[in-house]
Structure 1
Amino acid sequence: MVLISFATSFSLAGLLYLYIIVGYTFLQNSVPNYLNVRVCEIILP
């Protein structure tokens, strides 16, 4: 039982870590592009 709960918590922690990494890289890639597009729309109407 202890081994099963440990494996479950370990896999959940791994999934959470993966989700944070993917979300962070997605935000890093998409937010600057979105801001650049908005700035270009404001400067060049």
Structure 2
Amino acid sequence: MISENQKVKRWLLMSISPEIMKCYLRFSTIHEIWNALSKAFYDESN
């Protein structure tokens, strides 16, 4: 059975472009991916 983490990880990675996805495949949890994505793409002006 696939864990909830794996389900969300798959959904998130499949939602982004293949070029970006490659950078985040090495992370094991969705929390790690989310933190890395937020650091890479968060615009502090909002």
Alignment TM-score, normalising by the size of structure 1:
0.32
Higher helix fraction (1 or 2): 1
RCO higher in structure (CA 8 A, sep ≥6)? 2
Larger radius of gyration: 1
Normalising by structure 2, report the TM-score.
Answer: 0.32
